[in-house]
Homo-oligomer: A and B are copies of this chain.
Amino acid sequence: MTTMNRAAPPVPGRRSTKQRAAVANLLEQLDDFKSAQELHDELRKRGEGIGLTTVYRTLQSLSDAGEIDVLRTDTGEAIYRRCSAHHHHHLVCRHCGHTVEVEGPAVEKWTDRVASEHGFSQVSHTVEIFGSCADCIRR
């Protein structure tokens, strides 16, 4: 088997660079969902030399790899966040972006049941809760 001299895959998007580290690192520190542009601004502010294109590209590949979660604001803008590995949903403050990860086995079962009742397969679902967090209400 001469074709298998290495285990490492030739999959693109894996070379480690300063820029990728910077993006991953920033996401690690943040707790709320941020847009690509916000992340880019923050990185520049911190003195990282990084282009907007690269930020988009990196976020794309991170989300493809399932390492970050993406969701859309009501204006259609994509926002990103480093999340825990297991399946979960979000409770997001629509004012400050403060995010809480939540789980609901009942919801998972419900979606599976509903989908199969209607003959749907290969099912995925989005469940996001938006509201005003206690802090924002106080103001």
Contacts and interface: CB of A to CB of B under 8 A. Distances in A.
A14 interface: no
Nearest to A104: B110
Interface residues of A, number: 33
Contact of A123 (B119, B120, B127, B130): B130
Given A106-B110, A111-B129, A118 B137 contact: no
A53 interface: no
A107 B129 CA distance: 11
A93 B121 CA distance: 9
B131 A128 contact: no
Interface stretch (A15-23, A26-34, A37-45, A72-80): A72-80
